[in-house]
Structure formats: C-alpha cells, structure tokens
C-alpha cells in the first residue's frame, strides 16, 4: 500500500511533464472487432463470431479455362491453399486453447464457437486478420398465400409469361445438360414433378444421394433429401418441375437438380452450403471427397434478410461461384411497396437480384424496391412471383407468392440459355448482360430510375425466348452523339432502337448515348426536342463490335412573330425592348426591338402556344406578359408598354389631387401604442416628432418628420406602435393612392407596414409591408395604389411598427388622394 501511495504522489508531481507526452499506442488489433460483437461480448461471457482474414485468392485466370471440371478444380485449389496459409497461426492458437471452430475457404474465414472477449482481442492482434464480426441469421421469407391462376395450355402462367414454353417449342431446348441447385429448406426428391429431374435418381427406382444432397441444417433423418417447410420444394419445382403430363410447372424441365438445406438456421449454414456447391462432397462429408467437377451450373437463392447490409461474406461466395462459372441469382425481398426495402444479400451491388410481378404484369405490392447498396438500382430484373403454383411436400401442389417464387424463373431461364448454347456455360457476365438486354422495359419511377432501368422492375420483365434468341446472335454495342446544326451537343434527346430487342435512352449532358444490344438490324429513331426535326434510319450492328451512330438534328420549320413595341400611356413613341417567346418544352426565341422604330421580329415553331414577355431598358415602364398562340402562318403582335405607377419614365409627371402631411407644425395624425405584450414593454414608447436619436431627416423631405427609433430606445424597450391618420374623403377620386418619404433601417426582428381602413377604422388591411430583414429601405419614396379606397367617404391610414432594438423608421411628406401619371410635352 505504501508503494502505491508513493507512486501516486510521484505521478502527481510529474503530471505536467507526462501530459505533454504522446498518448499510449492502442493495443494490437484495436478497431478490428466489430462494435456489435464487442457489445455482445460485454453482455455475455461467450459468443460465436467470425474471424475474417485479409488475404484473397486471385482466380481471374479461371475464366479462360474451358473444361468445366478443370476450371472448378483450379478455383477450389487456390481458395483452399490461400485459406490454409493465412489461417494457420490462428488455427494453431485455437487448437492450443481447445476452442471449437470451423474453418472455411470459400470465404477466408473461421467460425469460432463460444469465443470470449479475451480470445477476440488475442485473435484480432494477428496481422493476417482483417476483422472479427458476429454471426447473423437469414430467413426464407414467409410464403404469401396465393390464388390459383388459370394455366396456359397446361403450362403455369409464369412459365408461359416469360415465354419458356416457346423456347421448348421453337428451339427444342428444355435445359438438358444443365444442373441447377438452391440453398433453401430442402426438397422432396421423390415428388412426382421432381423425381425424374433429381440428379441422384439412378433409374429403376434407386437413388444415390452422394454429391447431390447436403444436409447443412441437420434436419433430415437418414441420408435422403427432405423438406420440412415446403419452400425449397416449391422453388425447385419452378426451376425444373414437371411430370410430363398436366403439371408443367418448371421453366427448364429437362435440367437436373441438387439441393442444400442451408437456409436458414444461420449464416454459417449458408456459407457451408455455398462451399459445398463449389466442391460437392459425398455423404461422409470428408474434405478429401470434394469434387468440383460435380458442382451445379446455376444456384437459386430465395432467401435473405429484411434489410440491406454490407456483410462481406456473400459477395465473396458469389465471387468464388462466378470464378468457377456458376450463376447465382437472389430474391430481392418481400418488404415492399416502400422504396429502399431491398433485402440483403440481393441489395448488394455484386448480387443479381429479382423482383416480382403478377399475371397482369404489374409489380407485386410486396416486391422490395431499391435503391440498394451504394445507390445501386435494385432489383436487377423482375419475374412472375404472385400466385405461382408449384410442387409441395407430400406429392402435392401449392400456390404462393413472393420474390422467392420469382427468382427460380430466372434460374430456369439461365438453364435454358446454357443448354441451348453450351459455349456460354460459365460466362456469368455475358449471361447477366443478355438477361438485361432482353428484359422487357417496364417503367415505374416511384423509387427512381427510368424506362430502361428503375428501382421497381430493374432492367424490366424476364423474357426467356428473347434471351435464348439473343444467345444465338451475341451482343454488340451501339453508341454515338447527338449535336445541333452548330455542332453543339444536345442533352436529353430521346434515342430508341427497335429490332431483336428494344432499347431507349436519353442523351447525356455531352450529347452522348450508348446501348448494349443483341446483334442484328435495328430501326434507330432520334427524336429531337421541340423545335427540331427527328432522324430515322436502319443500322446493322455486328456481333462483338461497337457501332458508331452520330446524328445532327436540324431545326424544324419556323414562322415569324413580329410587331412594334411602343409607349402605351399617352406618348406613343417607339421603344427599344427585349422581346422573349418561350415554350413549356424549354424552347426560347428572343429579339430586341429597334430603338428608332420599335420593330422586332423573331422565329418560332408553328402550331404551338407560347409565353411572351417584353421588357424595355428605358426606366419607368411595366413589363409585359401574355400568352400567344402561333398557327401555321406568321403572327403580328404589337405591344404597348404602360408607364409604371412610380411615374419615373421620361416624358411623364405626377399629378396629385389630395392632402399632404409634412409634420412641420403640429399634426392631426395620432401616435398610439397597444397594450403590453412583451416583458419590459414601456407604454410611453411610440411614434414621436422630435428626433430623439438625432437621425436627421433622411426621408427625402425637409423639416419635421415622424420617427419610431428602436435603436435609440435600446434593448429593453419593445415597440408596438401606430401612427394613425385623420379621415380622408375620397369621393370622386378613382386613382386613390398613398405616397410617403421613408427612411427604414430594419433588422431581423422588426416589422413595418402601412394599413388601410375604408370603414372609419373598424377594420384594417395591410397595403405595404417590410418584415424582418437586415439592410435598408430608404431614404426614398414609396407610392402605393389604394383601389379599395377609391370613391370612399371615410378613409384612414396608419403606419405600424414592431421591434426591439432593431433600427428605426422615419416617415415624412405623406400624400393621400388621387395620383396620376400624365404625359408632358
């Protein structure tokens, strides 16, 4: 204890010196433990968590390997080698401590079971470790009850809607040679609509489940596939189902299927399933039995979270699948109709996700919408997902709805494409491109995007026939720039290509446009904006090339709008003015009238209605605004500009007939204040005539004036004060007005107004006001028309000021009566 006390004393003495020293270095691994994991370990002694490593295998060369088995083995070998090398030290630590864990290679990560906070800190200190994150759960969306929809020639409506049956008929392709799979709840392998397509069916009523079934959830008795939910059986049926008779429920009934029930006890089961699919193992699950040559071609993922996430695992799994040539497709979620409801992993940029529509080609109300991760358009594509009938456990059938039901339509369509063109097997990027290009454009802008690509339908509605047709011809690129006759780029111009597929876009700010297309012949239409013609021609784009199509748009026919701009208040002389004609489309034509003659002339597009404005540089005239309709011939429109009420135009003077108040000797105007409404209100504060703040008369008048001086009265004095006139008889006066000299220095908390009463002061209307802004409104003169006072017998005015330590307002030379602007020689 004495030693501790002495140490404390020394620390107190040395504090000034130590305070200047550098702060202690953070412990190794600080910042690698996810905050959510750290919080969980604070609340409980142990928790499962992932140790995620930094090193990644480079499998880019795999895409050049043509042999399916060799490509898979190459990716598997590099992934496992990378994981073993980078995880070695951490595995040794875990083994030494006797910690249970499972090491993975499809994601370079280890799942630690019942890890402690101390263990997490120790592992985070390893330089090979990127981060430690908690486990998470996903789920198969709860099925939404559906209503049976009439079949189309014994084909389910969704299969017919995407034209899969037309692919069977026109190309003789049903998916032969392709294996599809899904991470789901399992599947009834001996269902009448699935048993023939199960890859484990060896014929003669016998089955071999090795390499064809992975019980990731440990949910099935024995070694055979099962489905305790129904979801997986249903999605598998939509991919490949059919009994050859009346139950044509699958898009690719000639394909084979395998299954893993990794959805959805945990992310661990999903990662394990994704790993098993890349290198399937036999029923012993021994690593040495892994055979990448037996991996499926297409993997359906009708599961996810209820919200977007940037979890690192699924993008890594998908990258490994893609490197190995496996096409993964994901449901976008059932959290619509609001925007930004796309669920992960479908919401992630790397995943290809699917939205749902109904038999009327309308988006399903439940279908989740984008945007997704980093603002990415989501979903990528849409497919039938409402009221989908498919297989159900017990050898039955069921009709349900969800993006889970839409996603296997896309998986089946990819199976048809790869079956028809085996040279496309493994070309994931090219297949995504063909899906996008051949989708039927469907506009819905509620969550952002355009006809080509929006956050409701994505690229549009799936079309399997167009997809397979496009596979034969290949893809190409069409690009160009649209310019006007002067060579300037034109933005926002509509460009459309109609041919094997239909694509449309608008030019960018630099006038450019571009399309990915199926190779072939297209009718190209460039529709110019208002005032320009269009360009239409046929172009042929060859496979694997870029075709350049530049367009120059010329102005369409014009007619003239002409006339003379004159003074319209009595002098009648010509005026130089700017004449502008605008159209709602953004079209604008302008001309300046001649100063000597007033003549102007400009050209516009015939057959349209325009807004015409005329403003002269000569001071004192009101601007002119009118709507004009131009038919097919020239239009003559003369314009007479009126002198403004201020009467400052050359050749005019003000004539007044009324009464003046100059505040020089006494006044019949009455200064009053209202009842106190503010703390510190002083009832003596108000309008005065003796200039207590020594401002001098800066209203433009001379001699005495009225003022309320808020600055002079100070911070603690609040003003709410009126300067009220006597009664004025304006009988017979039709040009009634009030005019006054003013020097207003307002502030943010001040309010100055002029009010009018035509009933002897019983009711008041504000006719002029300046409210709460810093700056100055004076010295100067204000003139205000009083049309409501014309011809009235008992007219009164009042100057009203509210403020607190907020400038001042001085008024002088108040005129009330007729005020007209008349021409002079």
Q: Which of 86, 344, 356, 404 is catalytic?
A: 404
Q: Examine the fold and report which residue of 613, 641, 669 is the final residue of a domain before the chain moves on.
A: 641
In this structure, the answer to whether residues 486 and 433 fall within a common structural domain is no
The angle that helices 403-420 and 464-473 make with each other, rounded to 10 degrees, is 30
Pairs from 501-505 (Cβ < 8 Å, separation ≥ 24): 501/437, 501/438, 501/466, 501/470, 502/441, 503/437, 503/441, 503/452, 504/441, 504/451, 504/452, 505/450, 505/452
Residue 13 has pLDDT above 60, yes or no: no
Query: Is residue 331 in some structural domain?
Result: yes
Q: Does the CA dihedral 166-167-168-171 come out positive or negative?
A: positive
What does the alpha-carbon distance between residue 173 and residue 179 come to, in Å, rounded to a whole number?
Answer: 14
Residue 762 has pLDDT above 70, yes or no: yes
Whether residue 165 lies in the annotated active site: no
In this structure, the answer to whether residues 743 and 607 fall within a common structural domain is no
pLDDT of residue 24: 45
Q: Is the pTM of this model over 0.75?
A: no
Q: What is the CATH number of the domain that holds 628?
A: 2.60.40.10
- At 170 the three-state DSSP class reads helix
- pLDDT bin (cut points 50, 70, 90) of residue 21 is very low
Residue 700 has pLDDT above 70, yes or no: yes
Q: Residue 78: which domain range? A: 29-134
In this structure, the answer to whether residues 539 and 565 fall within a common structural domain is no
In this structure, the answer to whether residues 386 and 272 fall within a common structural domain is yes
Query: Is residue 782 in some structural domain?
Result: yes
Query: Is residue 287 in some structural domain?
Result: yes
Q: What is the CATH number of the domain that holds 125?
A: 3.30.70
Q: What is the pLDDT of residues 359-403, one digit of tens each?
A: 999 999 999 998 988 899 999 999 999 999 999 999 999 999 999
pLDDT of residue 516: 85
How far separated are the first and last CA of the chain, in Å rounded? 110
- pLDDT bin (cut points 50, 70, 90) of residue 798 is very high
Q: Which of 52, 104, 191, 231 is catalytic?
A: 231
The angle that helices 231-240 and 403-420 make with each other, rounded to 10 degrees, is 30
Element (H, E) at 76: helix 68-97
Q: What is the CATH number of the domain that holds 451?
A: 3.40.50.200
Query: Is residue 2 in some structural domain?
Result: no
Total number of domains in the chain: 5
What does the alpha-carbon distance between residue 302 and residue 386 come to, in Å, rounded to a whole number?
Answer: 14
pLDDT of residue 212: 97
Residue 245 has pLDDT above 60, yes or no: yes
Whether 806 contacts 749, CB under 8 Å: yes
In this structure, the answer to whether residues 302 and 155 fall within a common structural domain is yes
Q: What is the CATH number of the domain that holds 506?
A: 2.60.40.1120
Whether residue 184 lies in the annotated active site: yes
pLDDT, average across residues 255-278? 91
Query: Is residue 16 in some structural domain?
Result: no
Query: Is residue 631 in some structural domain?
Result: yes
Residue 793 has pLDDT above 70, yes or no: yes
Residue 435 has pLDDT above 80, yes or no: yes
Beta bridge partners of 206: 203
Q: What is the pLDDT of residues 198-218, one digit of tens each?
A: 999 999 899 999 999 999 988
In this structure, the answer to whether residues 277 and 192 fall within a common structural domain is yes
In this structure, the answer to whether residues 815 and 717 fall within a common structural domain is yes
pLDDT, average across residues 456-476? 92
The tokens describing 693, both together, are: 């703040």
Whether residue 409 lies in the annotated active site: no
Residue 282 has pLDDT above 70, yes or no: yes
Q: Which of 76, 86, 104, 184 is catalytic?
A: 184
pLDDT of residue 308: 53
- pLDDT bin (cut points 50, 70, 90) of residue 148 is low
pLDDT, average across residues 31-58? 90
Q: Examine the fold and report which residue of 87, 113, 134 is the final residue of a domain before the chain moves on.
A: 134
Q: Examine the fold and report which residue of 552, 584, 607 is the final residue of a domain before the chain moves on.
A: 552
Query: Is residue 11 in some structural domain?
Result: no
In this structure, the answer to whether residues 392 and 509 fall within a common structural domain is no
In this structure, the answer to whether residues 806 and 680 fall within a common structural domain is yes
């Amino acid at each position: 204890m004495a030693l501790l006390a002495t140490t404390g004393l020394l620390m107190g003495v040395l504090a000034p010196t130590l305070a200047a020293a550098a702060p202690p270095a953070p412990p190794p691994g600080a910042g690698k433990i996810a905050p959510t994991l750290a919080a969980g370990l604070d609340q409980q002694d142990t928790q499962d968590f992932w140790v995620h490593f930094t090193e990644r295998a480079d499998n880019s060369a795999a895409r050049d390997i043509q042999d399916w088995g060799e490509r898979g083995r190459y990716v598997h070998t590099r992934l496992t080698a990378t994981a073993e090398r980078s995880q070695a030290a951490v595995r040794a630590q875990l083994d030494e401590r006797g910690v249970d864990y499972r090491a993975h290679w499809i994601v370079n990560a280890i799942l630690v079971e019942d890890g402690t906070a101390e263990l997490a800190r120790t592992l985070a200190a390893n330089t090979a470790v990127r981060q430690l994150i908690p486990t998470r759960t996903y789920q198969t969306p709860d099925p939404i009850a559906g209503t049976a929809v009439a079949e189309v020639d014994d084909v389910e409506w969704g299969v017919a809607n995407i034209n899969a049956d037309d692919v069977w008929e026109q190309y003789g392709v049903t998916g032969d040679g392709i294996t599809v799979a899904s991470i789901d709840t399992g599947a009834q392998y001996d269902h009448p609509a699935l048993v023939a397509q199960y890859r484990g069916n060896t014929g003669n009523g016998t089955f071999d489940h090795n390499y064809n079934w992975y019980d990731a959830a440990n949910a099935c008795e024995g070694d055979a596939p099962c489905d305790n939910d129904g979801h997986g059986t249903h999605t598998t049926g939509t991919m490949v189902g059919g009994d050859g008779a009346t139950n044509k429920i699958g898009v690719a009934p000639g394909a084979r299927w395998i299954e893993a029930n990794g959805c959805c006890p945990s992310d661990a089961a999903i990662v394990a399933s994704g790993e098993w699919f890349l290198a399937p193992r036999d029923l012993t699950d021994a690593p040495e039995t892994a055979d990448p040559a037996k991996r499926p071609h297409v993997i359906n993922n009708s599961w996810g979270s209820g919200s977007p996430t940037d979890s690192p695992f699924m993008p890594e799994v998908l990258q490994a699948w893609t490197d190995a040539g496996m096409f993964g497709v994901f449901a976008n979620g059932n959290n619509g109709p609001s925007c930004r409801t796309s669920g992960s992993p479908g919401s992630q940029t790397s995943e290809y996700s699917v939205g749902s529509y109904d038999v009327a080609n309308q988006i399903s109300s439940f279908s989740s919408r984008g945007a997704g991760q980093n603002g990415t358009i989501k979903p990528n594509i849409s497919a039938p997902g409402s009221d989908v009938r498919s297989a159900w456990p017990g050898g039955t059938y069921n009709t349900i709805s969800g993006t889970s039901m839409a996603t296997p339509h896309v998986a089946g369509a990819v199976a048809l494409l790869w079956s028809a063109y085996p040279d496309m097997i493994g070309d994931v990027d090219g297949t995504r491109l063909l899906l996008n290009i051949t989708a039927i454009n469907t506009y819905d802008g509620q969550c952002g995007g355009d006809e080509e690509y929006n956050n409701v339908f994505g690229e549009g509605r799936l079309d399997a026939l167009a997809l397979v047709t496009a596979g034969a011809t290949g893809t190409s690129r069409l690009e160009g720039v649209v310019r006007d006759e002067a060579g300037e780029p034109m933005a926002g111009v509509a460009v459309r290509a109609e041919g094997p597929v239909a694509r449309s876009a608008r030019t960018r700010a630099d006038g450019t446009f571009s399309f990915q297309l199926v190779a072939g012949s297209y009718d190209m239409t460039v529709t110019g904006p208002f005032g320009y013609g269009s360009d239409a021609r046929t172009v042929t784009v060859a496979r694997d090339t870029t075709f350049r199509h530049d367009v120059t748009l010329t102005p369409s026919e014009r007619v003239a709008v002409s006339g003379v701009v004159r003074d319209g208040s009595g002098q009648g002389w010509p005026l130089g003015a700017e004449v502008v004609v605008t159209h709602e489309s953004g079209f604008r034509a302008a001309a300046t009238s001649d100063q000597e003659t007033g003549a102007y002339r400009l050209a516009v597009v015939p057959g349209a209605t325009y807004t015409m404005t005329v403003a002269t540089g000569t001071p004192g005239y009101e601007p002119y605004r009118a709507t004009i309709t131009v038919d097919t011939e020239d239009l003559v429109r003369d314009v007479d500009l009126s002198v403004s009420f201020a009467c400052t135009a050359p050749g005019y003077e003000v004539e007044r007939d009324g009464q003046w108040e100059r505040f020089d000797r006494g006044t019949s105007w009455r200064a009053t204040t209202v009842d106190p409404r503010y703390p510190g209100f002083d009832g003596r504060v108000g309008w005065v005539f003796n200039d207590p703040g020594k401002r001098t008369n800066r209203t433009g008048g001379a001699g005495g004036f009225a003022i309320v001086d808020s600055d002079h009265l100070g911070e603690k004095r609040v003003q709410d004060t009126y300067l009220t006139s006597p009664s004025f008889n304006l009988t017979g006066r039709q040009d009634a007005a009030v005019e006054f000299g003013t020097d207003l220095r307002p502030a943010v908390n001040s309010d100055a107004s002029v009010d009018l009463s035509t009933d002897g002061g019983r009711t008041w209307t504000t006719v002029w006001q300046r409210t709460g802004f810093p700056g100055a409104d004076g010295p100067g003169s204000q003139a205000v028309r009083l049309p409501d006072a014309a011809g009235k017998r008992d007219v009164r005015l009042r100057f009203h000021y509210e403020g607190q330590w907020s400038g001042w307002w001085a008024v002088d030379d108040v005129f009330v009566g007729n005020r007209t602007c008349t021409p002079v020689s």
